[in-house]
């Protein structure tokens, strides 16, 4: 069986493509300006290697912060244009403020406007081309799904919502039950004996197996899949695809073979990584506490008018290895908000004061937790620490919930930058999936990604 030779771009490939062509388009804009419009501030030449490298770095960093490489946002031209304008405004501002490593301001100040407009215009032009060409149906990945009927709906909805380039053309019931052909969410059901023909006729590029129990796969189907695999056809198990596409560990699919899903990152035991991680925590927290000293007078004034009560709030939380510690925060709720019993924090929680909403949305309420980081009870990056009452409740409802206590809790984390609320068991499951992904894959690059995404959260005012 010959693999479908059509071109498909994986998520990582599309993100890299966006970044590389962004840089090339920015350079193209500068080249056109300097060649045809007498632009002298910056040109593409060996003498400007350092300024050009600085421009690349600025576009890469601020492009991440302002989410111009988020594939879902990049597919919406209006959102993409807004993010590009914000990104390039910041890039140009920083470029002008670092004249030691960038060119000095030109005498004709109008050239800065040309530079700014060219960056926006050419990068946005690439987004238009990206949506017209790369994100078009011609590059969709044609998928044939193999699994039990109860799983089909969830699998299709999860993958298509996470990555619109997945096109499911049909499915095969892995249990092989006889019956009339079933129309399932627009998908056609195929039989095992037609598998080879379907792959050719529908130009299938990948088969995803979503069977909860491998023993439920019929012998005939198993034999056909083995033949395809031996001929080099791409066959993948659903949980692998799920983790790759959603950046979450599929906790709900983990069973007795849990050890396959939790080969936690070697960086959890890497002494060098842990040393630099702790050093970063201490240095960052030192400056964070200095910042807290600067803003305390303003927070105190806002608290006096908008909160009317104690400035600080303490609470018991569970940390690494399930040890208890006291967390420090600026108070955002009314006094005695939980006088009767512990309650979930919810969206638009009535207990949150007017000033408390501002502190939460801007994440300023978390600033005192730098004290916890200095004490070694928390880290800058990690799962958010939860209260003992809720940990006990969630541990009974969600399998493997306490695996999040393998590492120190953090001020920010993979779950915090990818989801907003944890006010129910379902939302806590989602957060656990993200937290498990971080513990499994934690690395300096993932840490940097979280820091940049946290800046996006603050800038776009997405705190809860």
Q: Do 106 and 183 have their domain in common? A: no
Q: Give domain status of residue 5, yes or no.
A: no
For CA atoms 4, 5, 7, 12, give the dihedral sign.
positive
φ and ψ at residue 167, rounded to 5 degrees: -120, 110
Judge whether residue 3 has pLDDT over 70: no
Q: For residue 62, what are the CA distances in angstroms to 28, 86, 391, 456?
A: 19, 9, 37, 9
**Over the stretch 30-48, which tens digit does the pLDDT of each residue have?**
999 998 888 888 889 888 9
Q: Do 376 and 399 have their domain in common? A: yes
Q: Do 317 and 219 have their domain in common? A: no
Q: Give per-residue burial for 373-407: e unless 16+ CB within 10 Å, then b.
A: beeebbbbbbbbbbbeebbebbeeebeebebbbbb
Q: Give domain status of residue 6, yes or no.
A: no
Q: Give domain status of residue 256, yes or no.
A: no
Q: Picking from 7-21, 252-266, 295-309, which range would have the lowest pLDDT averaged per residue?
A: 252-266
Last residue of a domain, one of 134, 149, 169: 134
Q: What is the pLDDT of residue 89?
A: 95
Q: Do 278 and 401 have their domain in common? A: yes
**Over the stretch 358-383, which tens digit does the pLDDT of each residue have?**
888 888 999 999 999 999 999 999 99
**Over the stretch 79-113, which tens digit does the pLDDT of each residue have?**
999 999 999 999 999 999 988 888 888 778 889 99
What CATH number should be reported for the domain holding residue 233?
A: 3.40.50.11060
Q: Do 127 and 156 have their domain in common? A: no
What residues does 170 pair with on adjacent strands?
A: 144, 188
Q: Do 102 and 167 have their domain in common? A: no
Q: Do 294 and 419 have their domain in common? A: yes
Q: What is the pLDDT of residue 339?
A: 60
Q: Do 74 and 188 have their domain in common? A: no
The gap from C-alpha 372 to its chain's centroid, in whole angstroms, comes to: 26
Q: Give domain status of residue 2, yes or no.
A: no
Q: Give domain status of residue 396, yes or no.
A: yes
Asked whether 201 and 228 are in contact (CB, 8 A), the reply is: no
Q: Give per-residue burial for 152-161: e unless 16+ CB within 10 Å, then b.
A: beebbebbbe
Q: Do 325 and 445 have their domain in common? A: yes
Give residues with Cβ within 8 angstroms of 144, minimum separation 6.
168, 169, 170, 171, 172, 190, 195, 198, 199, 202, 204, 206, 207, 208
Last residue of a domain, one of 134, 162, 189: 134
Q: Report, as an integer, the average pLDDT of 52-73.
A: 92
Across all residues in the chain, what is the average pLDDT?
Answer: 86
Last residue of a domain, one of 196, 215, 246: 246
Q: Give domain status of residue 109, yes or no.
A: yes
**Distance (Å, whole) CA 173 – CA 179:** 11
Q: Give domain status of residue 116, yes or no.
A: yes
Q: For residue 362, what are the CA distances in angstroms to 134, 313, 413?
A: 36, 17, 16
Q: Do 233 and 348 have their domain in common? A: no
Asked whether 327 and 411 are in contact (CB, 8 A), the reply is: no
Burial of 36 per CB tally in 10 Å (0-12, 13-18, 19+): exposed
**Distance (Å, whole) CA 112 – CA 90:** 13
Residues, the chain: 464
Q: Give domain status of residue 51, yes or no.
A: yes
Q: Do 164 and 309 have their domain in common? A: no
3-state SS track over 355-408? HHHHHHHCCHHHHHHHHHHHCCCCEEECCCCECHHHHHHHHHHCCCHHHHHHCC
**Distance (Å, whole) CA 132 – CA 121:** 16
Q: Which domain holds residue 292?
A: 266-459
**Distance (Å, whole) CA 10 – CA 22:** 18
Q: Do 439 and 308 have their domain in common? A: yes
**Over the stretch 165-178, which tens digit does the pLDDT of each residue have?**
888 888 888 877 65
Asked whether 241 and 206 are in contact (CB, 8 A), the reply is: no
- The structural domain count of the chain equals 3
Judge whether residue 345 has pLDDT over 90: no
What residues does 315 pair with on adjacent strands?
A: 327
């Amino acid at each position: 069986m010959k693999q479908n030779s059509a071109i498909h771009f994986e998520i990582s490939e599309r993100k890299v493509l966006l970044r590389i062509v962004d840089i090339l388009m920015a350079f193209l804009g500068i080249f056109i300006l300097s060649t045809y419009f007498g632009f002298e501030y910056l040109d593409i030449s060996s003498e400007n290697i350092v300024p050009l490298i600085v421009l690349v770095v600025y576009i890469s960093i601020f492009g991440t912060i302002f989410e111009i490489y988020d594939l879902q946002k990049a597919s919406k031209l209006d959102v993409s244009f807004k993010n590009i304008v914000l990104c390039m405004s910041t890039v140009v501002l920083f470029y002008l403020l670092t004249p030691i490593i960038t060119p000095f301001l030109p005498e004709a100040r109008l050239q800065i406007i040309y530079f700014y407009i060219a960056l926006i215009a050419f990068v946005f032009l690439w987004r238009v081309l990206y949506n017209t060409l790369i994100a078009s149906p011609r590059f969709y990945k044609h998928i044939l799904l193999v699994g039990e009927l109860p799983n089909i709906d969830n699998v299709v909805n999860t993958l298509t919502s996470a990555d619109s380039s997945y096109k499911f053309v049909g499915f095969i019931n892995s249990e092989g039950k006889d019956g009339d052909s079933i129309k399932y969410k627009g998908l056609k059901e195929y039989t095992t004996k037609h598998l080879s023909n379907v792959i050719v006729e529908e130009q299938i590029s990948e088969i995803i197996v979503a069977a909860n129990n491998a023993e439920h796969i019929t012998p005939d189907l198993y034999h056909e899949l083995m033949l395809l695999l031996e001929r080099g056809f791409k066959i993948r198990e659903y949980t692998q695809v799920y983790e790759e596409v959603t950046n979450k560990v599929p906790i709900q699919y983990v069973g007795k073979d849990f050890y396959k899903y939790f080969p936690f990152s070697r960086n959890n035991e890497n002494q060098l990584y842990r040393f630099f991680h702790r050093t970063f925590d201490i240095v960052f927290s030192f400056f964070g506490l200095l910042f807290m000293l600067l803003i305390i007078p303003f927070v105190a004034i806002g608290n006096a008018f908008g909160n009317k009560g104690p400035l600080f709030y303490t609470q018991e939380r569970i940390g690494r290895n399930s040890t208890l510690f006291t967390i420090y925060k600026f108070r955002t709720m009314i006094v005695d908000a939980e006088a009767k019993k512990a309650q979930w924090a919810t969206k638009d929680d009535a207990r949150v004061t007017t000033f408390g909403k501002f502190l939460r949305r801007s994440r300023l309420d978390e600033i005192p937790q730098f004290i916890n980081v200095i004490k070694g009870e928390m880290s800058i990056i990690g799962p958010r620490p939860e209260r003992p009452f809720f940990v006990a409740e969630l541990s009974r409802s969600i399998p493997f919930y306490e695996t999040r206590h393998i590492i120190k809790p953090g001020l920010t984390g993979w779950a915090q930058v990818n989801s907003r609320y944890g006010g129910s068991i379902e939302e806590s499951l989602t957060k656990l999936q993200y937290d498990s992904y971080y513990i499994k894959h934690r690395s300096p690059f993932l840490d940097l990604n979280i820091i940049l995404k946290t800046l996006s959260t603050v800038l776009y005012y997405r705190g809860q």
